[in-house]
Copies of this chain bind each other. A is one copy, B any other.
Amino acid sequence: MDYKAKAYILSIGNELLIGRVTNTNASWLAQKLTLLGYCVERIVVVPDNMDDIVEEFQKALARADIVISTGGLGPTPDDITNIALAKALGRELETNQEALEMLRERYTKRGYPLTPEREKMAKMPVGAKPLPNPVGSAPGILVEVDTRLVIVLPGVPAEMEAIFTEHVEPILRSRGKPYFYREKIIRIKGVPEADLTPILRRALKIDEKAYVKSHPRGIERSAPLVDVHVYASSSNEEETRTIVEKIEQFLVEEIKKTFEQKADITPLS
């Protein structure tokens, strides 16, 4: 896989570690980042604990160009992501005037006072830029660290998605040259995954910009069912499409040749 830059996702919140909430934020972000040409190196789920969050921000910054966190941006005592980020960067935490203005405007409109709990959401590391929240209160936080970017988003999915789409995606898209991600999935009925292995091994060697992975889907009417996912990413749109199509064609031909009538092949996408 070729890619624009490395990304790291930090998901902050005890509710994820006690299994109360499934991490749909991470898969949503991972898909967006992949489509933009980034390679997501890790998704790490961290508890609402200062030392843990500081540690994971530092680890992520040591390895990735783009670090995106979700969670811990609200007004309650366990919302400490802004403080942890400042500590991780060794920067002072200050009230960001632009963020304070966003909060003041929002609360004035809704008739709520700007209490200390609400003002807390304007506190950001020195040098940060607030990202307006179109559907909730807490602004996101963007910090440049040398050539890297840290992006801190709320945990409420609708807020996270809105800030990302309106304010983060355009920035990530404009960094470096454009990248193109293409994929195909073919479903094979009648051949056990293990018997596809020699063909998959050869398919994996066709182009290093591509990846090929099989996902067993169980047994359907007593015949094994396997989805094979082919995907590639590169800075050349035409090349990316051609690679994926070439590998798909190779798989279909080889599977037909090897298993003949036994294999029932359907392109899924």
A11 to chain B, nearest CB (A): 8
Question: At the interface, yes or no: A166 with Cβ under 8 Å from chain B?
Answer: no
DSSP class of A's interface residues: helix, strand, loop or mixed?
mixed
Taking the complex as formed, is A167 at the interface, i.e. its CB lies under 8 A from any CB of chain B? no
A185 closest partner in B (C-beta): B20
Query: Across the interface, do A115 and B194 meet the contact criterion of CB distance under 8 Å?
Result: yes
> Which residues does chain B contribute within 8 Å of A16, judged by CB atoms?
27, 30, 43
How many residues belonging to A are interface residues under a CB distance threshold of 8 Å?
62
A112-B192 CB under 8 A given contacts A31-B18, A43-B16: yes
Known: A48-B213, A75-B197, A76-B197. A19 touches B29 (CB 8 A): yes
Question: What is the CA–CA distance of A19 and B216 in the complex, to the nearest angstrom?
Answer: 18
Question: Which B residues are in CB contact (< 8 Å) with A41?
Answer: 17, 47, 52
Q: Mark interface residues in A39-56 (1 if CB within 8 Å of B CB, else 0).
A: 011111111100010000
Considering the complex, which residues of chain A in the window 49-89 have a beta carbon less than 8 Å from any beta carbon of chain B?
A: 52, 74-78
Q: A19-B28, A19-B29, A19-B31 are in contact. List 19 more A-B contacts (CB 8 A).
A: A11-B43, A15-B213, A15-B215, A16-B27, A16-B43, A17-B40, A17-B42, A18-B231, A19-B26, A26-B45, A41-B47, A43-B43, A44-B45, A75-B193, A75-B194, A76-B200, A76-B213, A77-B201, A117-B195
**B-contacting residues of A (Cβ < 8 Å)?**
11, 14-24, 26-34, 40-48, 52, 74-78, 112, 115, 117-118, 136-137, 156, 158, 192-198, 200-201, 204, 211, 213-216, 218, 229, 231
